[in-house]
């Protein structure tokens, strides 16, 4: 009797994939393994070394050429969403291993929602105010809070997410400006924003929100020199990619008080190590990469995974090959 193919599902931290799709047929036809914990290095290799199919949530485990070369049985690599920055796609292509992805769901909308949750929580000091009440106190001098209306919102990267964030800022009565490497005044005006140079945006904005893709020209864009340009009362928000900011520079900048605060949803290492200096950095609001963590998105992920694996088991074309 031919052995069942081994299918390994990685990165299901939320333990949601089996809640949002029916895996019973796949479980009957394959040796199916779910991993809910972060896996790296040899622990990752041990989990996937005999896999015929690897199905990964986003880019939660890195797969470089060296690791892929150690996977002789691999016949299909699948990840959720449309992009995986920690996968050596060429190493799979060179071996003729198909790469599949899944629909991403409304991740742009939910990331924009979280961006505004962080902006509002940081600017209104919601965590500090809650702690005050939990300590049996009421208002204190720090409860006199600034308004966003009339302030400048600087959007770095005016794509789909940045565009939504900009619209909300305008609805709040903010002065919305933008910059990106390829931005033009005409494109900015079409999105009801004003184009300004990056240094001007950093120097004048109360809120600076990052929405760029990481590339050669944007990695480490927000470094020590640019952080020093920011207002002492400004808030830097990043729900895009951690590599846009030099983390060590941000830690030191927050200690020096410029910018005044930061709010992060993305980090160089996820989950954040217990000894990370970020955990004790002053004036830093953090959320555990919640930008795309929403029921509609994980429903798309789960159904996309099961449909792709089912098609592979049936010998049919995979529904959404990576291009």
241 noted as active-site residue: yes
On the 0-12 / 13-18 / 19+ scale of CB atoms within 10 A, 38 is middle
Q: For residue 186, how far is the Cα from the chain centroid? A: 29
Catalytic residue among 33, 289, 295, 300: 289
Whose tokens are 């929602």? That residue is 113
From the candidates 35, 211, 241, 300, give the one annotated as an active-site residue.
241
Task: Tell me which of 109, 194, 252, 270 is the catalytic residue.
Answer: 270
Per residue, the 3-state secondary structure of the chain, as one string, reads: CCCCCEEEEECCCCCCHHHHCCCHHHHHHCEEEECCCCCCHHHHHHHHCCCCEEEECCCCCCECHHHHHCCCCCCEEEECCCCCCCECHHHHHHCCCCEEECCCCCHHHHHHHHHHHHHHHHHCCHHHHHHHHHCCCCCCHHHCCCCCCCCEEEEECCCHHHHHHHHHHHHCCCEEEEECCCCCHHHHHHCCCEECCHHHHHHHCCEEEECCCCCCCCCCCECHHHHCCCCCCCEEEECCCHHHECHHHHHHHHHHCCCCEEEECCCCCCCCCCCCHHHHCCCEEECCCCCCCCHHHHHHHHHHHHHHHHHHHCCCCCCCECC
Active-site positions?
241, 270, 289
């Amino acid at each position: 009797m031919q052995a069942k193919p081994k299918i390994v599902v990685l990165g299901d931290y939320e333990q949601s994939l089996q809640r949002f799709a029916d895996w019973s047929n796949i479980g009957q036809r394959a040796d199916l393994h779910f991993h809910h914990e972060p896996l790296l290095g040899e622990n990752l290799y041990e989990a996937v070394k005999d896999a015929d199919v690897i199905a990964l949530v986003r880019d939660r485990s890195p797969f470089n050429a060296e690791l892929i070369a150690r996977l002789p049985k691999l016949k299909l690599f699948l990840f959720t969403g449309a992009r995986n920055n920690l996968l050596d796609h060429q190493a799979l292509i060179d071996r003729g291993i198909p790469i599949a992805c899944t629909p991403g769901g409304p991740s742009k909308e939910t990331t924009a929602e979280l961006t505004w949750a962080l902006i509002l929580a940081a600017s209104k000091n919601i965590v500090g105010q809650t702690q005050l009440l939990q300590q049996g106190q009421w208002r204190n001098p720090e409860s006199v809070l600034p308004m966003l209306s009339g302030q400048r919102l600087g959007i770095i990267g005016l794509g789909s997410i940045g565009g939504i964030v900009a619209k909300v800022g305008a609805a709040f009565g903010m002065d919305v400006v933008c910059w990106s490497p390829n931005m033009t005044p005409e494109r900015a005006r079409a999105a009801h924003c004003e184009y300004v140079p990056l240094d001007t945006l950093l120097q004048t904005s109360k809120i600076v929100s990052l929405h760029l893709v990481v590339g050669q020209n944007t990695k480490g864009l927000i470094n020590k020199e640019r952080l020093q340009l920011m207002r002492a009362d400004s808030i830097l928000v990043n729900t895009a990619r951690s590599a846009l900011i030099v983390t060590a520079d941000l830690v030191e900048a927050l200690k020096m008080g410029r910018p005044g605060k930061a709010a992060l949803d993305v980090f160089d290492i996820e989950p954040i190590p217990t000894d990370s200096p970020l955990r004790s950095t002053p004036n830093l609001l953090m959320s555990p990469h919640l930008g795309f963590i929403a029921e509609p998105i994980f429903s798309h992920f789960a159904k996309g995974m099961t449909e792709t694996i089912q098609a592979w088991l049936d010998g049919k074309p995979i529904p959404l090959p990576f291009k």
